[in-house]
Structures are given as C-alpha cells and as structure tokens.
Structure 1
Amino acid sequence: MKETEASAGEAVERQRLRSRLVDLLNAYSSEANHIGHAFAGRHHMHGTDLHALLAVMHAERAGAPLTPGRLGEAIGLSSGATTALIDRLERGGHLRRIRESADRRVVHLRYGEAGMLLASAFFTPLAPRTDAVMERFDVAELQVVERFVQGMVDALVGYRNELRGRD
C-alpha cells in the first residue's frame, strides 16, 4: 500500500512539475522575445533579422558557420528572402560574408564587428543578473539543467521541422 501511495504521490508531483516547468519555459520565452524585440526596435531591425543574427552567432560558437542556404533553412526563409535579409544585415554591419573555404564558391556568414558592439552594449547589463542566478547552482545541477533545456530545444526543433514538412 505504501509503495502505491508513494508512486501516486510521485505521479502527482511529476504532473505538477511538468505544468510548472512548461509555464516557466513559456514565461522565459515570452520575456526573451520582449528583450529581443526591444533590441531589434532600438536598432531598426526586423524580428527576422534578430533570429538570423542569433542563428549566425550560435553556429559560430559551435564552430560551424552558416552558409546563406543553411541560414535560410534555419529560419524558414526562401532563397530570395534570405539574400535580402543578408544584404540588409551586411549593410548595417551586423553580418559579413566570408569566403574561407578552399572552394571559393562557398560563402560563410560571420557576425560583423558593428553588430557585436551593438549586441554587447545592449545585452551586457543583463549578464550580472543571469550570472547571479547561475551562481546559485553547482556544476552538477547546471549539467542537469543543460540536459533538460537541450532536450526541450530538440523537441521544439523536431516539431518545427515536422510543421515545415506539412506546408
């Protein structure tokens, strides 16, 4: 009987945590979007521009810079729309097109110096706040959070890809 009560209690707690975590992830996403829109608005950028810059930044950090085609796939734009977006971001100093491969036809996108300076100036005041939160967790706890958030991102990307396949 005790084992059944314990597993029922665990199921209730699991459901409570599931609901709470989904609510928190939604709140985080919403707040991050508000901040992203504030950045885009202050710098006369479109929301899509911000998504593109984030995709380029993440790809660079991962050591796998994006090509224009991969950027278009990543943010769901046609080839023509991607070219217009890259042209706009390049004119603003946010992106650079670089030919760094032995195949000179391959173009990689890199974050531009001007774009990095703007982003740094805007987002640096946020860093102490997020650092203070992370300091409350030890390395093992942060590794669990990392696994969880990565799993959630993977789930969203998988679903987004399914939705694109239905178009």
Structure 2
Amino acid sequence: MVDFMTNAVAYGGVAFLAGGYSASLSLDNTLDLLLHTPPYILYMAAGSISSTLPDISGDRDEGKHTTAVVLGARNAHLLACVLLLGAIWLFYLQKDFFGMWIAVSALPLYLLFLVYPTTLLMELVYKVGGAIAMVAISMVYPLFFIVGITTFIFTLLYFRMVHHVLYPSLRSDSE
C-alpha cells in the first residue's frame, strides 16, 4: 500500500515544498512550508487512491498489490474519503482557504460515489478533482496553465501513438 503514499509525498509534499521555495527563493520559510505540507499530502493521497480504482482488475491480474486491490474498491474509496476530509480539516486549521476550497470542491463527487458507485462516478472522482486543482492553481500561477496544457497534449500524444488509446478516456481505437 505504498503506492498512494509515494505519489502523495512526491506530488503533495516535494512538489509543494519546491514550489513554495521557488516562490520565495529563500530557505528562511522552510519550517513554515513543512508545517503547511500535510494537507497537500493528504489531498494527493486521496486522489492517488481514487485514480487506482479503475485499474483494480488489471492490477489484480498482473499480481500487483495496490491499495485498491488489497482493500477492495469500496474500502479504498472510504480511505480516500477519510484522507480528503483530513486534508480539509488541516486546511481549515491552517487557514489555508485556497487549498480548502480546492479540496471541498472535490468532496461532493467523493461522497456521491459512496452512495452511487458507478463507473462514471469512479472516473469523475479523480478526474474532476484533479481538474479543479489544475484550474485553481492556474488562476494564481498562469504559467502553470501553459505547463499543464503542454503536459496534457504530450500525454495525449504519447498514449495515442504508443498504446493506441484515447487519453483520458483510455478507450481503444478498435472500440
């Protein structure tokens, strides 16, 4: 179950710290940045778990022991919900209302998927949550939008040319 933690620490922790440092170009705020990192790690952990739910059968067939395979879809999603609620709580305690707004915006889909565990909602949980975060960050840092769109285009081309699937739907050409 280290699958989601590596993503959470890398993208929610290291990336947050690197961004915070590069924004100030000083190590003077390192302790403050470290103290404000946990909710971002929890938010990323929730999204990381959610993004593995569609892959359960393939991961199981390959012998992978992802969080979703080990816990099952419902329990893995419950863990993701708990992590998301933990992130919201920490954002609130730290008065990080920007981060809290992003996490709260994702919450309705997480809760809806608990009640209606459909394939569509399973996909929307992490895709919409990720998109909300990308748009919100781009509003504050417009250059991030350019980097994000560029990454999306290259990812789309990679999956199309190498794996012959349409990303992000991952629908094969033959369908």
Same fold, judged at TM 0.5 (above) = no
Relative contact order (C-alpha < 8 Å, sep 6+): which is higher?
2
Higher helix share: 2
- TM-score w.r.t. length of structure 1: 0.33
- TM-score w.r.t. length of structure 2: 0.32
Please identify the structure whose Cα radius of gyration is greater.
Answer: 1
